[in-house]
């Protein structure tokens, strides 16, 4: 018996790029659920003699390492009684009400446990999330972060591309390496190129944490964001980490004036096989509370490397935006993902970004690939240099500030040449390498 072929219309539909994506049936036991898993704890907070003795239906003697740290450092006990008594729907309405100041909702959110805040924000619909994001972001003006890398760690090309990214309006630039030993070289090249393009651009070289901290201590980079947090104790243990070690690392960066944010994101715990049956959104609420507790300046979340996992379940993309909002409500700078490619579908990846683009977050993309996809050593981004004109057109269409600026070809050519020349001169002065005129022209 021959296998039945789908009818022509369905064969055509099956060939579309969206069908390259993975989609999952909800499975709470594996953590494959966006909101409201049966295993998510009921919100609760009991304070005795100025100390938390119960949080989110768990007594102090049963606290794991995340509970212990959040209870000790992540909740404003002065407003906790008032905040926890609020009905979740009532607080959700306050978040979107233009007559309730941002400062008031931030004050109340500071007294909420992870489960309480997650329950409240889960009430918001997509249009309400857009309104809430516009109201609650920490920065006055939205911005974007760029990826600047290349396959050969070519310092002249890195500098030229960094200057180009700065010219197009990116305010942070993140680089990484295919070869670990090139990290200091890449940091220097990108720092010089960015400074040529625009003053005040912050630079990160994303590598192993000890090396990245060393680069910061030497003044070769000016921010870090790859300090990872997770929503369950087991994953911390698997990574030989604790909230205390993350807090120490955060303090080390801060001691030298290095801007520092942590990275988390819905779906990470399910991806690593230790979600403890909880929803992605609740686990991310724990991460965001922990970020506040350890003293981080901000959070990069919105799925990040696990965005496709969150996007595979119903409501998952909405949960990614909602977790960005939780960061803002904890009064932290929100770097809202849209970096790792979530979908092979142009329509779907635009759908994932567009509400955040309209609402405007602190950093709409925490890794816009300002270079071409093949040169991105982080892997393809949600948005790449092939999409810059589309992104600028979207800003024009909607009359919003999406963080990018137009740049003329003569000006970009001038900046690229100057950046490459400056790096060539620095490398020659330091005895790090001699680059020919032909090499410079290639950059």
- What are the strands, taking DSSP E only, across 188-258? 202-205, 223-228
Side-chain-facing half-sphere of 304: CA atoms under 13 Å: 24
Q: Which of 115, 143, 145, 381 is catalytic?
A: 145
DSSP state letters, 314-358: TTHHHHHHHHHHHHHHTT-EEE----B---S-HHHHHHHHHHHHH
Cβ atoms 131, 349 nearer than 8 A: no
Instruction: Reply yes or no on whether 297 is catalytic.
Output: no
- What are the strands, taking DSSP E only, across 348-414? 363-369
Instruction: Reply yes or no on whether 145 is catalytic.
Output: yes
Q: Which of 343, 366, 370, 421 is catalytic?
A: 366
Looking at the DSSP bridge assignments, the partners of residue 299 are 262, 334
Enter the tokens of residue 379: 């892997």
Across the beta sheet with 45-48, the strand order is 45-48, 51-55, 58-59
Q: Which of 228, 274, 300, 421 is catalytic?
A: 300
Q: Which of 161, 212, 225, 362 is catalytic?
A: 225
Instruction: Reply yes or no on whether 225 is catalytic.
Output: yes
Enter the tokens of residue 27: 């499975």
Q: Which of 147, 228, 343, 381 is catalytic?
A: 147
Q: Which of 56, 174, 182, 333 is catalytic?
A: 174
Enter the tokens of residue 342: 């979530």
- The structure tokens 């509400």 sit at 355
Cβ atoms 119, 92 nearer than 8 A: no
Q: Which of 269, 339, 362, 387 is catalytic?
A: 339
| Closest to 212 (Cα-Cα) out of 263, 146, 157, 152 | 263
Torsion of CA 338, 342, 347, 351, to 10 degrees: -50
Instruction: Reply yes or no on whether 382 is catalytic.
Output: no
- The structure tokens 């970009």 sit at 412
Residue numbers annotated as active site: 145, 147, 174, 225, 300, 339, 366
């Amino acid at each position: 018996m021959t296998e039945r072929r789908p009818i022509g219309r369905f064969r055509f539909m099956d060939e579309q790029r969206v069908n390259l994506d993975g989609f999952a049936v909800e499975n709470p036991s594996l953590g494959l659920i966006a909101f409201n898993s049966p295993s998510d704890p009921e919100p609760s907070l009991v304070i005795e003699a100025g100390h938390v003795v119960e949080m989110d239906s768990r007594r102090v003697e049963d606290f794991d390492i995340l509970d212990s740290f959040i209870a000790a450092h992540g909740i404003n006990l002065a407003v906790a009684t008032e905040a926890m008594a609020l009905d979740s729907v009532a607080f959700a309405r306050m978040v979107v009400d233009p007559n309730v100041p941002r400062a008031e909702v931030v004050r109340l959110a500071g007294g909420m446990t992870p489960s309480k805040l997650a329950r409240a924000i889960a009430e918001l619909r997509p249009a309400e999330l857009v309104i809430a994001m516009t109201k609650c972001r920490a920065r006055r003006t939205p911005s974007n972060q760029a990826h600047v890398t290349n396959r050969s760690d070519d310092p002249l090309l890195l500098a030229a591309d960094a200057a180009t990214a700065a010219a197009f309006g990116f305010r942070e630039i993140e680089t990484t390496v295919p070869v670990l030993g090139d990290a200091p070289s890449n940091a220097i090249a990108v720092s010089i190129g960015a400074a040529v393009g625009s003053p005040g651009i912050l630079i990160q070289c994303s590598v192993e944490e000890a090396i990245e901290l060393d680069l910061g201590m030497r003044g070769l980079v000016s921010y870090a964001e790859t300090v990872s947090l997770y929503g369950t104790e087991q994953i911390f243990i698997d990574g030989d980490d604790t909230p205390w070690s993350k807090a120490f690392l955060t303090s080390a960066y801060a001691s030298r004036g290095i801007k520092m944010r942590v990275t988390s994101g819905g779906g990470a715990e399910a991806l690593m096989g230790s979600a403890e049956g909880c929803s992605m959104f609740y686990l991310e609420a724990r991460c965001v509370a922990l970020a506040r507790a350890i003293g981080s300046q901000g959070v990069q979340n919105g799925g990040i490397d696990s965005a496709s996992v969150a996007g595979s379940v119903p409501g998952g993309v909405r949960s990614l935006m909602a977790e960005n909002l939780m960061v803002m409500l904890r009064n932290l700078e929100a770097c809202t993902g849209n970096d790792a490619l979530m979908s092979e579908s142009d329509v779907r990846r635009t759908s994932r970004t567009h509400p955040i683009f309209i609402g405007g977050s602190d950093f709409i993309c925490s890794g816009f690939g300002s270079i071409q996809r093949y040169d991105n050593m982080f892997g393809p981004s949600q948005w790449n240099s092939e999409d810059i004109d589309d992104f600028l057109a979207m800003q024009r269409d909607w009359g919003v500030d999406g963080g990018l600026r137009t740049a003329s070809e003569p000006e970009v050519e001038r900046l690229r040449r100057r950046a490459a020349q400056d790096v060539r001169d620095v490398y020659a002065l330091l005895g790090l390498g001699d680059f020919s005129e032909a090499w410079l022209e290639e950059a």
